[in-house]
Amino acid sequence: MGNFDLGNPVYGKIEAGKPIIVSKQTVSFFVISAFFASLTLAAPLAAQQLVAAASDPVTLPDAPNPQLHDAVSSSSPDVFSSSQPSDQQQTAAPASGAQQTTTPPQEETPEQRKARAAAELKLETKQRMAGVIPNFNTVNNGKATPLSPGQKFHLFFKGAFDPYQFVLAGIDAGIGQAENENPGYGQGFEGYAKRYGANYADNFSGNFFGNAVLPSLLHQDPRYFRLGHGSVLHRALYSISTTFRTRGDNGNWQPAYSNLTGNLIGASISNLYYPEGDRGLYPTLRRALSVTYQGTIGGMLQEFYPDIAQKYKNHKARKAAAAAAADGVTPIPPAKPSQP
């Protein structure tokens, strides 16, 4: 992905003929302030989710009921752990006095769970925005089976070697060369080739550690779990919060160590192939913040793109219906699903 060139001063005007220059330190301070401002906005929501996940309901033993048979009493549901309404919980026992038995659900074996995750992953790796941009890391219904380490690596390589990534690296390299980013690379074909390799390597290394290695070691899910409901502000804050928190393989929300650390590792590795003038602590932190910011924007697209696509689809259908009505043709309504 492309990098922000904060080393160049930014020009602006307060009055005509009076240019001002904002130093790179000021721009860096602004970027870092925006970073922590996003963290501040996301923190309350993350804390609320973490508290909700941690507060398990307390299960208390049933009080003895002398009016019912012991066998019936021992099998009555616990009002603290059941999700049914209270009137259903207090259903009287059968008159025959027969013991009520509940068959516990059969536990899923690791092989069955892995097969179910593979089936879900197969569908997810077909998702694209506008039919072009890979959207493999998005869970649209908010629920998914945890991935095995091998499946996390498969998901990473599926996205890393998608043709779109090579085209994107070429576009970023062209823009960087036109703006003379990383001047140590020079110009001409050689400079373009170096920028192309650097852009692809930035994306590959950051995602390799942030979406494959660390999620496997820390048991975290590298995918984006789309909310899909609520107000625009609520969903936007939720999307921002996923930069700093993620789902664990146990289904609970956790700090996004994999994502943030992966971005930092990728930015550190880039010191091996960036020009000498673009190495060091400050350029490394700048690149890590840049990638984190880009990931936040990507999360916004993952959250709202289905809504945009659906609105466009509805608009196109209404336009086609209006054109058919103008031509005197009655549009055929969509077929209703058959009743079971």
Under 8 Å between Cβ of 236 and 296: no
Residue 248's SS3 state is strand
Under 8 Å between Cβ of 41 and 240: yes
pLDDT of residue 130: 92
pLDDT of residue 333: 60
Q: Cα–Cα distances in Å, from 227 out to 24, 88, 142, 231, 279?
A: 37, 31, 6, 11, 39
Prediction pTM value? 0.64
pLDDT tens digits in sequence order for the chain, 340 residues long? 444 344 444 434 444 444 444 444 444 444 444 444 444 444 444 444 443 444 444 444 454 444 434 433 344 344 333 334 444 444 333 343 334 444 444 688 888 999 999 999 999 999 999 999 999 999 998 889 999 999 999 999 999 999 999 999 999 999 999 999 889 999 999 999 999 999 999 999 999 999 999 999 999 999 999 999 999 999 999 999 999 999 999 999 999 999 999 999 999 999 999 999 899 999 999 999 999 999 999 999 999 999 999 999 999 999 888 888 887 766 566 555 544 4
Ramachandran assignment for 79, one of left (phi > 0), alpha (psi -120 to 50 degrees), beta (any other): alpha
- Residue extents of the structural domains in the chain: 10-51+110-318
Under 8 Å between Cβ of 76 and 63: no
pLDDT of residue 6: 40
> CB-based contacts of 282: which residues, under 8 Å, 6+ apart?
28
Q: How far, in Å, CA of 256 to CA of 75, rounded?
A: 42
Look at strands 128-129 and 18-22 and give their pairing: unpaired
The strand pairing partners of 248, in sequence order, are 220
Residue 183 CB coordination number (10 Å): 12
pLDDT of residue 328: 73
- Residue 133: phi, psi to the nearest 5? -75, 125
Ramachandran assignment for 251, one of left (phi > 0), alpha (psi -120 to 50 degrees), beta (any other): left
Q: How far, in Å, CA of 9 to CA of 29, rounded?
A: 13
Tell me what percent of the chain is helix, strand and coil, each rounded to the nearest 5: 55, 10, 35
pLDDT of residue 325: 84
pLDDT of residue 91: 39
